[in-house]
Structure formats: C-alpha cells, structure tokens
Amino acid sequence: MLTIARLFGKSPFSPLQSHMKKVSSCIKKLSEVFDELANGRLENIEELVSQVSKLEHEADLTKNDIRNHLPKSLFLPIDRSEILEILAIQDDIADQAEKIGHLLVLYPLKTPPEFLQGLNDLFARNCDTFWITRQIIKEMGDLLESSFGGKEAERVKGMAEETSFKEYQADKEMHALQKRFFEAAESFSTPVFYLYTQLIAEINQISHISEQLANRIRMIIEVK
C-alpha cells in the first residue's frame, strides 16, 4: 500500500504503530468473546471468533505490506532487522488472539461458572500486560524525538519494568487456576479437560509475548 510507504517517510515507527492498531483490534474483539463467555451468552461466541480471525488477517496484510516497503538504503534510527523483529513479535500477539478464539469454539463449553470466570480473569490479567506494551509502541515517536534518551527513555524503561511485573502476576494467576482445575479434573470429560488446559496456557502467552516486545524495545534504548 502506498500509505505504508509514505509512513516510512514520516517515521520508521509509524508503520509499526499502524500495525499495532490492527493487533489491538484483535485483542479488543477477543475481549468481547470473553465478555460473552463470562455472561453465559455462548451462542454469540462463534461469530465473534470469526471476526477475530478477520482482524488477524488484516494485521497479516499490514505486516506484509510493511515488509515489502521497508527501505533498504534509507538511513533509519534503528536497524532494519530490529524493525522487522518488533513487527514479528507484534504479529505474534494477533496470531495468539486468533489461536485462543479457535480453541474457544473447538468443543462445546460446558464448564462450571467459576472456571469460566477464572479464564476470564486470567485473560483480563494478560490484557493488563498487553495494554502497557501497546502504550510503549505509542511512545516510539517521542523516543525518536528524544534520541532514545532523557526523561522519555526513562519513562519507557519504567513501563517495560511494569510489563514484567504484570507478566509475573499473570503467571501466578495461571498457576493458581491450573491448580484449581487439576484438583477438579475428575469432574470433567477428557475433551473438556484437554481444552481447558490448552486454553489456560495459550491465554497466558499474551503476557509472555507482550513482555518480550517491551523488553526488546528496552534493549534498543539501552544500546543507543
């Protein structure tokens, strides 16, 4: 798209921010899925998951367009490989949203409300990590203006530390939910038990990937 090509003339981070908007849309739509799940409106989930997949596809198209228009000879404030790495990690979050959505429609969800609420709480905790990382990407333009130093750099590094703490909290919540689920394992059928063990692990990947992205940006700041 010509639009992406023009964005590079403005800032090398503008295309990354454009792609992150697509990724954010995937997480927002997946949040709607979990809202329906928590409220017992299971009949709406399949359509919402389909919408998550469409948004993930849009993120893929944007990712490919950025790769195709990423300048090879133009001077950039960070290495071309670093831009591509950040882009790939961002896209992993969109992929993860789609993967979780597909698991939610893989098998009829017949689980006690307290476990459904547990999944919803775990997802919310992981979203806490993601939205901090999302804000870091928004700050990239300001980082460029400050030459990756000063108060803005310290602010972003502080946000990266907060992301790590949120990821730690998400891990604790995941382990607590796993323990509860395994204690009640005999009350679930084999397919449901498998599905929920997978869901718990995949939901928690959102915070892991988000922390990875935040730490990658922090590393760039540290070497500048």
Sketch the domain layout of the chain as residue ranges. 2-223
Pair 120, 34: CB distance under 8 Å: yes
CB 132 within 8 A of CB 158: no
Q: How far is CA 4 from CA 27, 82, 95, 202, in A?
A: 22, 18, 21, 31
Per-residue pLDDT tens, the chain, 224 aa: give them: 445 445 445 566 888 999 999 999 999 999 999 998 888 787 889 999 999 999 999 999 999 999 988 877 555 567 888 889 999 999 999 999 999 999 999 887 766 777 888 999 999 999 999 999 999 998 887 666 656 667 777 888 899 999 999 999 999 999 999 999 999 998 888 888 888 899 999 999 999 999 999 999 888 877 65
Could you give the angle at which helices 113-138 and 14-38 cross, rounded to 10 degrees?
A: 170
Q: How far apart are CA 120 and CA 207, in angstroms?
A: 14
CA distances from 186 to 4, 27, 82, 125, 182 (A): 53, 33, 48, 27, 8
pTM over 0.95: no
Specify the CATH architecture of the domain 2-223.
Up-down Bundle (1.20)
